[in-house]
Amino acid sequence: MRSIPRLFALVPCLFALFTLAGEGYGPLRGGDRNPLVGLFYIPRPESAWLTPKGVTGVELNLGYSNLFEVAANEAWLEDLDMEQLALTLHLRRGLSRHLEGGLTVPLYGRWSGFLDKGIQSYHDALGLPNDRRDEFADHRYAFLFGPIDGTPLWDDSRQGFEIGEPELFLRYSLARWSDGAAALRGTVKPGIDDAGSGETDSALELSISQRLGKAWGHLHLAAIRLGEPDGWDPVLVETSVFASAGTEIPWRRYALQVQLDFFEGPIDDTGLKTLDPIGLDLLIGLAGKAGLWRWQLGFAEDLTGEGPAVDFTLDLHLSRRF
């Protein structure tokens, strides 16, 4: 329940960003790609406009992330050092004027990567923290979390590709007006062994899109209920929240996008700063059209230097309706 006051405290800040700009391209879909957080459900912001009845929407999201989080204390150990390619397919279908259904299927590729030195130089140039990167060899791979003494809660030394847990969703149009819309979404992520947490997560999400002048603003709020895998009880946050506010401003044939994503990660009470449950990402992007396809190219940067947010993510989102 500690997450509820945090969410309400952040809402005024999100609305301040929301009202800076103004159906555009919709929010940036990249955001956080932490593979430990990704064992559980993470909302992806979307506009409040539903797919029309009888129409099928196809979306492909390609995200590349660099991650380094190494921390330990007398009780817990986290060792995440990798680069990750996330390829996600979204299918949605307009079922009626007010209802849309869909399916999301992720594919992950994880390996030691090649960007470590470049990331350190980039952080140094911008005055951002490098944490303890200089204490470890470049191009190292690790994906480990658990008690310092005992069986890890997650230990995966495999590199390569694997399919993640799918997500099923229904969206309902709450309201439409001349310059905007609001929609409610219910999401279920069924648990599948070795593809994620193995337990079922669910979420209730609200999207609001509003036109202000020539620009668009998008607000996305979510309350999430997490299923509890065996052994995770001491550290799992059973309920968490997510909030996102962003703008898209027309520029020539494109749209410039700025977005702020706040989320509460699934892990708490470890005493590890790298697993502080609060994540905050700044997303900057450019959107446009190529034939019948819409595209969004985005960049996400962790603003906290701690917590579960990935150091950075490059993201490409393609969408089309049939």
In whole angstroms, give the CA distance from residue 84 to residue 86.
6
More confident position, 305 or 67: 67
DSSP letters, 284-310, are EEEEEEETTEEEEEEEEEESSSSTT--
- Please list the residues that pair with 211 across neighbouring strands: 216
Across 97-126, average pLDDT: 79
How far is 107 from 86, CA to CA, in rounded Å?
A: 6
Confidence band of 11 (pLDDT split at 50, 70, 90): very low
Q: Phi/psi of residue 119, each to 5°?
A: -65, -45
Cα–Cα distance for residue pair 168/103, rounded to 1 Å: 5
Per-residue pLDDT at 150: 86
Confidence tier at 1 by pLDDT (50, 70, 90): very low
pLDDT of residue 216: 94
pLDDT in tens, 186-203: 999 998 877 789 999 999
Query: Would you say residue 6 has pLDDT above 60?
Result: no
Top-confidence residue, 125 or 241: 241
pLDDT of residue 66: 80
- What does the alpha-carbon distance between residue 131 and residue 139 come to, in Å, rounded to a whole number? 16
CATH numbers and ranges of domains, the chain: 3-321 (2.40.160.40)
Residue with tokens 């539903």: 50
In this predicted structure, the answer to whether residue 130 has a pLDDT above a threshold of 60 is no
Say whether pLDDT at 175 is over 60.
yes
* pTM of this structure: 0.85
